[in-house]
Structure 1
Amino acid sequence: MDKILVPIDFSEHSEFALRVAAAIARKNNREIVALHMLGLSDEGLTKVETQELQEAILNLKFSDSKFTDFLNRVYLNGVKIQHAVQRNKDFFEIDAIAKKFGADLIVMGSHGSKGLSEVLVGSNTEKVVRTSSLPVLVIKSPVVNFKFKKVVFACDFKEDYIEPFCKAWNFFKPYKSLFKILYINHPENFLSNQEMEEKAMEFIKQAGIKDLNYLEDIIFYNDYNLEEGIYRFSKKFEADVVAIPTRGRRGIAHFFSANKGESLVNHSDIPIMTFKK
């Protein structure tokens, strides 16, 4: 596999994602598949009048030229990159397209600006996260010298999250990441120390992970709010990525469903990576 799919819409956010993908590809000898989605269906093209068809063809050529210019970046020098064009602008198809090209990672930009949950909920990014069986790395701001050095996996130790956790653990292991499993103990789901420790030990036992240091790699962090707790610890830890499990077609929304009121995470710039059950 060793390919990274990056959806391109010529926005600055898609360039943020492309730059991060380039950093990953360069360090790990990966290939980038840059995907441009035009929003023109084959059915639509066959029904238009001759003049409109000519205009559509010109638009296709213009998009191709713009695509080439967009990929003419210094940070892409030395990185193997493949162009791909999808006429239909359907973000639910991203997973199938990624697999067709042999990608095992999707990196995409997000316009979200109101915290960890809002980056992923109610957007094209959410459509990809909900339907992709592949890991999705979401970038919402410029990242300099991106790396997978420090990773926080946010988890409440539910059985449903064992599979996403194992996927994340196996994904980051080749990168030799400093991997922390984070449990946020907040008022709406408060547990005693003993209860948290028992849940964590049972979770790790069922996951079958042997080379994990329980005392150092599992973090219990108290906060008033799940999302704020994830953000605060991740900033303190200087995490490069916050990994979050998702399940089924409900995507990411359920993970933050306990949050009430206005979040303090309004301008989080931490890249988020999702792993699906």
Structure 2
Amino acid sequence: MNKILVPIDYSKSSLIAYEEAIVIAKQLKHDLVLLFVHETSLFQSNDYSDVIESGLKLKLKELGKTAEKQGLKVDYLVRSGKPHKIILEVSSHIKAKFIVMGGHGETGFQEKLMGSTTTKIVGQANCPVFTFKMKRKHTGFDEIILPLDLSKETKQKVKYAMEIAKAFNSTITVCSVLYNARLDAKIKLESQLEEVEEKIKSKNISCRSKLLIADYLPKAIIDFAESGGINAVQGDLILLMTQQEKSIGEYLIGSFASKILNSSKTPILSICPTQSNFIYSIPTM
């Protein structure tokens, strides 16, 4: 059975992510694996380590009852070490199909845990990563925002968005950012966007396309997904490629991706093109 890994630190955002993970797991018919990572320094003595770990697992199991009552199979893991390293190790070991986690913690240790940890996991995970920062009025992903630079390799990545859209009956909005208003460039990009739109529609997936004129790509994407203005779509999910072609820049994971992750209120699904284990059959609903 496919598994979704959910790191829990009991911060507000990690508990929100857990609620979202239940919805995702039910929709995809996946199992959940709840993981709590504590730092070694929490243990005063090895004599008490088993007792402490047992207590932490009991607390995790109490949280997991919500998912179990909805018919999901849930496994529970407690590990010691650096959070991002343990999360990545566990993800690889269980061959997770997704990681679902909070975008940041609340204060102090938790902020460090779910802030820098999230960025490291997004950049290194062997599977796609959902990140959630705040509670939403509704669950699911009716509107997926798919930013593309429309180079050959990037257009091939459209298949990832289609997999999610099929599972959640979503509408995909393919968008691209034009840094200048040159008519020839605008015509070319609009033509390419329409081509991608038609390809997605041919798979019986609802799709639209939009060309954005802006000087700063991260803000343009975030505003498009969140502002609700005349040129915007109320996005439920931004699908973010964590590696992109040099036509956009080699800084994506260090700059563009981190800015989107840090600034966007919209949930994000981060996918690395090398994540070959992402493609799998969507269950028949």
- TM-score, length-normalised on structure 1? 0.75
Once the two structures are TM-superposed, the CA of residue 57 in structure 1 deviates from its matched residue by 3.1
Which sections of structure 2, spanning at least 5 residues, go unmatched?
A: 107-113, 245-249, 274-285
Are 1:243 and 2:239 matched, yes or no? yes
Per the TM alignment, residue 68 of structure 1 is displaced from its structure 2 partner at its CA by 2.5
The question of whether the paired residues in 2 share the 8 Å contact of 1:154 and 1:243 is answered with: yes
Which of 61, 64, 83 aligns to 2:57? It is 64
Residues 184, 221 of structure 1: 8 Å contact kept: yes
Larger relative contact order, structure 1 or 2 (CA cutoff 8 Å, min sep 6): 1
65-74 or 220-229: bigger deviation: 65-74
Aligned to 2:6: 6
Partner AA of 1:192 in structure 2: A
Q: Distance in 1 between matches of 2:159 and 2:165?
A: 10
CA–CA distance in structure 2, aligned partners of residues 186 and 97 of structure 1: 41
Q: What amino acid is the match of 1:80?
A: K
Distance in structure 2 (CA, Å) of the matches to 1:68 and 1:112: 21
Q: CA deviation at 1:71?
A: 2.8
C-alpha displacement of 1:184: 2.0
% identical aligned pairs: 24
CA distance in 2, matches of 1:122, 1:195: 39
Q: How many Å separate the matches in 2 of 1:148 and 1:200?
A: 22
TM-score with structure 2 setting the length: 0.73
State the alpha-carbon separation in 1 of the partners of residues 257 and 18 from structure 2.
28
Aligned amino acid, residue 253 of structure 1: G
Q: Is the 8 A contact 1:130 1:250 kept in 2?
A: no
Q: Secondary structure at the match of 1:217?
A: strand
**Equivalent residue letter for 1:65:** L
Distance 1:11 1:112 in 2: 5
Tell whether 2:214 aligns with 1:223: yes
Contact 2:172 2:208 in 1 (8 A): yes
Secondary structure, counterpart of 1:123 in structure 2: helix
Q: Which residue of 1 aligns with 2:189?
A: 196
The 3 A distance-change label for structure 1 pair 91 and 190 is farther
| SS of the residue 1:86 aligns to | strand
Q: Measure how far apart 1:189 and its partner are.
A: 11
Pair 1:20 & 2:29 matched: no
On the 8 A contact 1:95/1:134 being kept in 2, the answer is: no
Alpha-carbon RMSD: 3.8
Please list every run of 5 or more consecutive structure 1 residues that lacks an aligned counterpart in the other structure. Answer: 46-50, 114-120
For residues 90 and 270 of structure 2, the distance between their equivalents in structure 1, rounded to whole angstroms, comes to 18
Q: CA deviation at 1:230?
A: 1.1
Q: CA deviation at 1:87?
A: 2.6
- 2:276 is matched with which residue? none
User: Which residue does the alignment assign to 1:129?
Assistant: 122
What is the aligned residue count?
Answer: 254
User: Helix, strand or coil: the match of 1:143?
Assistant: coil
Q: Could you report, residue by residue, the CA deviation over 1:49-101 in whole angstroms, capped at 9, with x for unpaired residues? A: xx721233332233223222333447964332211223333414534422432
> 1:164, 1:246 within 8 Å by CA — same for their partners in 2?
no
The offset of 1:225, in angstroms, is 2.4
| Mapped partners of 1:57, 1:127: distance in 2 | 29
Question: What does 1:21-170 correspond to in 2, within 5 Å?
Answer: 21-40=21-40, 52-73=45-66, 77-111=70-104, 123-170=116-163
Q: Residues 152 and 189 of structure 1: is their aligned pair in 2 closer, same or farther, counting only changes over 3 Å?
A: farther
Q: Are the aligned partners of 2:26 and 2:72 in contact in 1 as well (CA < 8 Å)? A: yes
CA distance in 1, matches of 2:186, 2:77: 51
| Letter paired with 1:227 | P
Which of 9-18 and 266-275 deviates more?
A: 266-275
With over 3 angstroms needed to count, the CA separation of the structure-2 counterparts of 1:101 and 1:191, relative to structure 1, is: farther
- Please give the alpha-carbon distance, in whole angstroms, between the structure 2 residues aligned to 1:92 and 1:133: 12
| Amino acid in structure 2 at the alignment position of 1:180 | T
Secondary structure of residue in 1 paired with 2:45: helix
